[in-house]
A = this chain, B = another copy of it.
Amino acid sequence: MNCNTPTDICFSFAGFQARGGLTDIHRDGWGIAFFEGRGVRLFLDPQASSASPVAELVRSYPIHSLNVIAHIRKATQGVVTLENTHPFQRELWGRYWVFAHNGNLKGFAPELRGDFRPVGQTDSEFAFCHLMETLRARFPEGEPPLPVLFEAVREIATGIGRHGEFNFLLSNGAFLFAHCASRLAYIVRKAPFASAHLKDQDITVDFSELTTAGDRVAVVATTPLTDNESWITIAPGTLMLFVDGEPVDAGPAGTVAFTGSGPASCG
């Protein structure tokens, strides 16, 4: 989720949580990261989200955030343990970066410089470490302008993607990258707001009662979370950038503006 105003994700999370063991097979752990300013709250649980007390807390305790990344795991590489649970987090250039991957990279094992090393055994964390160290090596002084960063992430992602399915979400709290290798869809909710009904649980929310006119919220997911809204399918091979609740062209440096207003509730 990427928003222009701090938004809770309680609605989407209710559907998402069900996929972790109830309506879907992703029962090998789950996690969710909420950016609040430059800080992150990362909740991880190696058990199925449908049975997790931590997931219950997340579902019932509204944390308002501009950028949220959540993941439910179906283990392909690496055992079911906490250190193999997504999302993963590292610090780069004085910001936290959070990463979640859907897919399976086979035989992906470039030599790492050592700046970022995997703690667990997943292909996903390995790819994240490779991405982080490549970015640091290329921009040792600090975060480059967004268009430059976008091109670098796209290029590195394309390289990693040669080894298998590499759908991922990546955020530093200011914006959200979404890379589609095979399956990814998104929706932008903005005025005039309407009702949304979850696919995975019989829950409906009328966003018009919970939002103000300027709110804008983008939700990206492997498959649509609701069944009465028009989700947009992202073309395989695409890296998208979401800022302030909508997809943007990375464009020339400085064209991306950040805004904000009071807390909303349409995630």
Residues on A lying within 8 angstroms of B by beta carbon are 36-46, 53-54, 57, 61, 81-85, 89-91, 93-96, 114-120, 140
Q: A36-B81, A57-B54 are in contact. Are A119 and B94 (CB under 8 A)?
A: yes
The residue of chain B having its C-beta at the shortest distance from the C-beta of A96 within the complex is B119
Q: Are B40 and A82 in contact (CB under 8 A)?
A: yes
Q: Are A95 and B119 in contact (CB under 8 A)?
A: yes
- The 20 sampled A-B contact pairs (Cβ below 8 Å) are A36-B46, A36-B82, A37-B81, A37-B83, A38-B82, A39-B44, A39-B83, A39-B85, A39-B119, A39-B120, A40-B82, A40-B83, A41-B43, A41-B82, A90-B91, A93-B117, A94-B119, A95-B119, A96-B119, A115-B115
Q: Tell me, rounded to whole Å, the shortest Cβ–Cβ distance linking A184 to chain B.
A: 27
* 13 additional A-B residue pairs with CB within 8 Å, beyond A39-B82, A54-B57, A91-B117: A36-B46, A36-B81, A39-B81, A39-B83, A39-B84, A39-B119, A41-B43, A41-B45, A43-B43, A54-B61, A91-B116, A91-B119, A115-B115
Q: Are A41 and B44 in contact (CB under 8 A)?
A: yes
Q: A91-B116, A117-B93, A119-B95 are in contact. Are A53 and B61 (CB under 8 A)?
A: yes
Copies in the complex: 2
The residue of chain B having its C-beta at the shortest distance from the C-beta of A41 within the complex is B44
Q: Are B119 and A38 in contact (CB under 8 A)?
A: yes
CA separation between A257 and B120, bound complex, in Å? 22
The residue of chain B having its C-beta at the shortest distance from the C-beta of A92 within the complex is B117
With most chain B CB atoms within 10 A of its CB, the pick from A61, A83, A118 is A83
CA separation between A82 and B46, bound complex, in Å? 24
CA separation between A89 and B43, bound complex, in Å? 14
CA separation between A72 and B114, bound complex, in Å? 33
B residues less than 8 Å from A95 (CB atoms): 119
B residues less than 8 Å from A45 (CB atoms): 41
B residues less than 8 Å from A36 (CB atoms): 46, 81-82
Q: Are A117 and B94 in contact (CB under 8 A)?
A: yes
Q: Are A42 and B42 in contact (CB under 8 A)?
A: yes
